[in-house]
Amino acid sequence: MIPLLPRVRRLYVRSFSGLPRKVWLLSLVMVINRSGAMVIAFLSVYLVNAMGYSATDAGWVMGAFGAGGIVGNYVGGLLNDRYGSWHIMVFSLIIAGGLHILIGQVTSFWPLCILVFLTSLTADAFRPANRAAIAVYAPPDSLTQCYGLQRLAANLGFSIGPALGGLLIAVYGYESLFWADGLTFWLAAALFLVALPADETARPLASTAPATPPEGAPLAETRSGMRQPWLIRMVLANACVITCFFQIFSTVPVYLTQQGYTEGQFGLLLTISGVTIVAVEMPMVYVADRRYRPLYVMLGGTVLILAGYFILPLAVLTGYALLIVWILLITFGEILFMPFTSTYVAKHAPPARRGEYLGLLSASFSLAFILTPLLGFQLAEYFGYAVSIYAVSGLGVVGLLYLLTIDGAREARQRELAFR
């Protein structure tokens, strides 16, 4: 055991070392920004309990949030390529901060839907710009580590936000939630402007790509992401797998409480997941990135997520110990799947369209955010939660099958370019 400890320590040091200073600064911005992720955590509760909305109307508002995320991710990616990541991140943080404050001042249904849509659109434009900036800052052999660090920062911040939000609601009421979230966005924007003044990421990606390839070189990829077969398959695969994964935030907590488990017990499962991510994600990503192809790692992560959800109904009936096994399976699956999706797209996207390609990938997360509760609760209402869990998890199997075809589609496109 003793000789193992120094090896583990060296692995941790290696997994965090060598990352560019600007990636660390972006991660700090992410921690502050996600520490203010209070509105989304409590929005449905606010709408039903404080505003008196029906569950159906609250669902429509949440749907508007998800739809805004889809549009924001894609449009943010397009704008990123045209104006540069730096500008998109700055304006996203500043405008989204103001819009979050305004949500707390609006009570009418349709204006609230529109405002929530615009808030999500603006806030989520940050994501593809952030990922595109990391692809600029990170050395190619450390790209996955850098994406892993960003995920670690986001998870760390998100573990703070809901707890802080619950305290603010208890002491000052719901309106304080919107002010705190908006001010946190502005604090992140101020730190970003001070720590990361305009640099190479402020230039449009399109301007950095050569207009024509050198003589004798194969033609460069110029196709829009919407017309790229391998990317569309990647987006569909990600949407299917994440729809399966997002059950943890929709049907699963309701399922557990209906089976006699308490909110505190479910919260403890989320805590176990968060602590596990903080403790092991970076070393796991470091080792996997150096030993296996990204697609193989994603396949392994998908299998773990599916295994977790397929044992969940049994775990609910068996007891809390097996629920801990469930949360660990899907957590390790998340660790292996999510960072490598960004790496795969960033590495194979044409530089002039990297923001668009990453924006499409990010939009699939927002699509999953809409699909999971929509499908899950409808199925649960008619067939019960166990059937719902298995049916939605079936989409994860579809995602696994799509993943198996991505490399073939991408290599076919490369051969097509080579023979032109």
For residues 159 and 252, membership in a common domain is answered with no
Q: Compute, in degrees rounded to 10, the torsion defined by CA atoms 307, 311, 316, 321.
A: -70
Specify the number of domains making up the chain: 2
Q: Are residues 187 and 277 in the same domain?
A: no
Assigned token pair, 166: 């619950």
More confident residue, 407 or 43: 407
- Which pLDDT score is estimated for 36? 67
- Please say if the pLDDT value at position 104 is more than 50: yes
Instruction: Give the span between the Cα atoms of 241 and 244, in whole angstroms.
Output: 5
Q: Is 60 exceeded by the pLDDT of residue 320?
A: yes
300 and 336 Cβ atoms separated by less than 8 Å = yes
In whole angstroms, what is the distance from residue 365 CA to residue 26 CA? 21
Mean pLDDT of 23-32: 89
Q: 154-163, 170-179, 210-219, 232-241: lowest mean pLDDT where?
A: 210-219
Do 37 and 178 belong to one domain? yes
187 and 240 together in one domain:
no
Is residue 14, in this structure, part of any structural domain at all? no
335-371 tens-digit pLDDT: 999 989 988 998 888 888 888 888 899 889 889 988 8
Specify burial of residue 311 (Cβ count, 10 A radius: 0-12, 13-18, 19+): middle
Q: Which amino acid is present at 216? A: G
**Which of the pair, 382 or 219, is modelled with greater confidence?**
382
| CATH number of the domain enclosing 161 | 1.20.1250.20
Higher pLDDT, 282 or 310: 310
Tell me what pLDDT residue 258 has.
86
Asked whether residue 171 falls in the same domain as residue 231, the answer is no
Whether the Cβ atoms of residue 418 and residue 218 lie closer than 8 Å to each other? yes
Contact present, 282 and 12 (Cβ < 8 Å)? yes
As a whole number, the mean pLDDT across the chain is 85
Q: What is the extent of the structural domain holding 410?
A: 223-420
The Cα 97–Cα 161 span in angstroms is: 15
- Say if residue 164 is in the same domain as residue 300: no
If pLDDT is split at 50, 70 and 90, which confidence band does 420 have?
low
Q: How many CA atoms lie within 13 A of 165 on its CB side?
A: 26
- pLDDT tens figures, 250-307: 788 888 888 988 877 887 888 788 888 888 888 898 888 888 888 999 999 999 999 9
Last residue of a domain, one of 181, 197, 213: 197
Residue with tokens 């070393």: 283
The answer to whether residue 4 sits within a structural domain is no
Residues 268 and 159 in one domain: no
| Residue 39 identity | V
pLDDT band at 408 (very low <50, low <70, confident <90, very high): confident
- Is 215 domain-assigned? no
Please identify, among 147, 163, 197, the residue that sits at the C-terminal boundary of a domain: 197
Question: Does residue 208 lie within any of the structural domains?
Answer: no
Give the residue from 282, 347, 251 showing the smallest Cα distance to 13.
282
Q: Same structural domain for residues 61 and 164?
A: yes
